Structure 1
Amino acid sequence: MIDDTEELSDPWLIAVWPGMGNVGLSAGYYLMAKLGMELLAEYSPPEYFDVDHVDVKRGLIRTGVRPRSRFFLWKDPRGKHDLVVLIGEAQPQFGKYSYCQKLIAYAQNDLGIQRVLTFAAMATAMHPDHESRVFSAVTDVESLDELKQWDLNILEEGNISGLNGILLGAAADKGLKGTCLLGEMPHVFSQLPFPKASLAVLESFKLISGIDIDTTELAEQGKEVEQRLGELLSRVEQSMGEQQPESYEEAYQAEPPEEPKLTPEEEQNIENLFAQAEQDRSKAYELKQELDRLDLFKDYEDRFLDLFKNNK
């Protein structure tokens, strides 16, 4: 919980959860890493989350844990808009609107949040090597005029599923301005990370907030993924021509997944990256990239987020 004596400057809340392409979640992680955020509070009411699995390690069953939701804070040196990023490990299985109502009440009453934004994905027929567009929707006319001023794409019709939309509905009910930024990604690869969409979302956020964020690393990651997906798409299309599978997804799923093999050098590299990130939080995204590459982020997630605790 924030110190009662500490006041935030016109704070904005950015909320992200796992979803298609991890577009919103990746943008949230990148933002908190590059701005060197600090852990502010945790908000994980147990009545909305249940244990839905157990973990097995070397044949031994371990009780599963409930998903956690944690807030991270960045104090704007300009004194304009402090940022609070909510990283949610999962969305509640039931009571979504009630959960959002309580979350908004907490954000308003305890954190003084003035505006709410969510980052998410929109799957379209785009090709992986095309630029990702960002589609936007807001809760009020003033914010809509702002989007038009920045020449951002407006989501004219449709719906926004999950907490990415429901949270903004709850915010609107309490008179809070709300904005959803949806980064475009190829629907045929909706289950794979697509950092180019996360980059597009953050570039739009930079316009809206006026906050400068170095997105070089995310842009480089986006180019690498674009190349890999382009090659995969070519193989899929060739496979479809030869074997006539029912869909791109079927052809992709037919490829056997690669088992992660962690070498002693990779283990040492992970430890080195953790040590660097402990000294400089802006290095944390490089660490996350490596953990994602090795498909190990879930194993290290709590340790990773501990990097953002205030150790003063």
Structure 2
Amino acid sequence: MPADEIQFVYSAKEMPKFATEPHLLCGFPGSGYVGKLAIDHIIQELHATHIADVYSSSFPPQVVIRTDGTVDLMKNSIFSWQGGETSLLLLTGDSQPTNPDSEYALAEHILNFASQFGAKHVFTLAAYITGVFVDKPRVFGTATDASLVGSFAQHNVLLMDSGTITGMNGLIIGIAKLRGISGTCLLGETSGYVVDAKASKAVLETLLSMIKVKVDMSNLEKRAKDTEMLIQTIEQQMAGRGMPAPESQQQQPQKPRNTGYIS
């Protein structure tokens, strides 16, 4: 691929025909893999249909080894699903672009693709990094307009009123706003030290309540328990070495310190 080229490779013979305007749900890999784990779980549990893979010369120059032993170039993948009155486009990926220009270009291409189907709302799922371990991760949020922000309270989403969201999770809803497309970013509270399925579960449950879709959470709950065990192991090892453990939930301030909300 030439420099900065973005290429869609379609797997479906025909594009999906949605009965309703689909939501675009994005789970880009980032801190704690919070968003990616959540979207991958939806794709798996809903048996979503693979539509296309998106390749970019701005992804890291490496291949990913799959579970069957084969390799693929790093890519983003788009799936579709519809049930009842809800239609979804779901995006997951191996990587985000490595430079700002390519991030903008990829965001434009993804929104162009979603617009073909009349998508009017984009959700991105990200990480709200606090640097501390918590038992029950909270969900924070921001959106492109006040009416969406006004609905946060009924879903127990804490409003963000400062800071930034880096990378594709913030950029794509910012560009969506310029296009007249609504956007919401939900961020799961995480330490930032581990792959955090607990935060993924929290943010996914909030998303599902917003879009009115039911998904079996059993597999993600198992991964969340694995996260708890990993955190306990880290704390025990630190205690054994006489090192101060990360702040506990009880010591945590009511609102986490502003670390610049890394996605």
Deviation at residue 26 of structure 1 after TM alignment: 0.6
User: Residue 216 in 1 paired to residue 218 in 2?
Assistant: yes
Q: Is the 8 A contact 2:18 2:82 kept in 1?
A: no
Q: How many residues matched?
A: 229
User: Residue 72 in 1 paired to residue 79 in 2?
Assistant: yes
Q: 2:234 aligns with which of 228, 232, 235?
A: 232
In structure 1, C-alpha distance between the alignment counterparts of 2:79 and 2:206, rounded to whole Å: 21
Query: Residues 146 and 13 of structure 1: is their aligned pair in 2 closer, same or farther, counting only changes over 3 Å?
Result: same
Q: Is the 8 A contact 2:64 2:73 kept in 1?
A: no
Q: Which amino acid aligns with 2:148?
A: S
In structure 2, C-alpha distance between the alignment counterparts of 1:50 and 1:225, rounded to whole Å: 28
User: Residue 115 in 1 paired to residue 121 in 2?
Assistant: yes
Q: Which runs of 4+ in 1 moved over 6 A?
A: none
Question: 1:20 corresponds to which residue?
Answer: 31
1:257-311 deviation line (CA, Å, top 9, x unaligned): xxxxxxxxxxxxxxxxxxxxxxxxxxxxxxxxxxxxxxxxxxxxxxxxxxxxxxx
Deviation at residue 170 of structure 1 after TM alignment: 0.8
Q: 1:126 aligns with which of 127, 132, 151?
A: 132
Q: Is the 8 A contact 1:8 1:112 kept in 2?
A: no
Extract unaligned runs of 5+ from structure 2: 1-9, 66-70, 247-263
1:98-150 deviation line (CA, Å, top 9, x unaligned): 32122212211x2321210111111114324x101111111111111111232
Q: Within 5 Å, which residues of 2 pair with 1:26-175?
A: 26-44=37-55, 46=56, 48-49=57-58, 52-53=61-62, 66-76=73-83, 78=84, 80-94=85-99, 95=101, 96-108=103-115, 110-128=116-134, 130-175=135-180
In structure 1, C-alpha distance between the alignment counterparts of 2:77 and 2:145, rounded to whole Å: 27
Deviation at residue 8 of structure 1 after TM alignment: 4.3
Q: Is the 8 A contact 1:137 1:180 kept in 2?
A: yes
Deviation at residue 163 of structure 1 after TM alignment: 0.3
Matched residue of 2:86: which SS?
coil
In structure 2, C-alpha distance between the alignment counterparts of 1:38 and 1:153, rounded to whole Å: 33
Question: 2:251 corresponds to which residue?
Answer: none
Query: Residues 233 and 219 of structure 1: is their aligned pair in 2 closer, same or farther, counting only changes over 3 Å?
Result: same
Give the structure-1-normalised TM-score.
Answer: 0.67
Q: Which amino acid aligns with 2:238?
A: V
User: Residue 177 in 1 paired to residue 177 in 2?
Assistant: no
Q: Which amino acid aligns with 1:195?
A: A
Q: Within 5 Å, which residues of 2 pair with 1:296-311?
A: none
RMSD: 2.6
Q: Which has the higher strand share?
A: 2
Query: Residues 54 and 73 of structure 1: is their aligned pair in 2 closer, same or farther, counting only changes over 3 Å?
Result: closer
Deviation at residue 54 of structure 1 after TM alignment: 7.3
Matched residue of 2:241: which SS?
helix
Q: Percent identity?
A: 25
Q: Which amino acid aligns with 2:122?
A: V
Extract unaligned runs of 5+ from structure 1: 57-63, 249-312
Question: 1:200 corresponds to which residue?
Answer: 202
1:72-120 deviation line (CA, Å, top 9, x unaligned): 11112x1x22111111221112211232122212211x23212101111
In structure 1, C-alpha distance between the alignment counterparts of 2:199 and 2:60, rounded to whole Å: 31
Q: Which amino acid aligns with 1:156?
A: D
Q: Which amino acid aligns with 1:227?
A: M
Question: 2:5 corresponds to which residue?
Answer: none
Q: Is the 8 A contact 2:60 2:97 kept in 1?
A: no
Deviation at residue 67 of structure 1 after TM alignment: 2.2
1:217-236 deviation line (CA, Å, top 9, x unaligned): 21232123202311321211
Query: Residues 238 and 117 of structure 1: is their aligned pair in 2 closer, same or farther, counting only changes over 3 Å?
Result: same
Q: Is the 8 A contact 1:49 1:67 kept in 2?
A: no
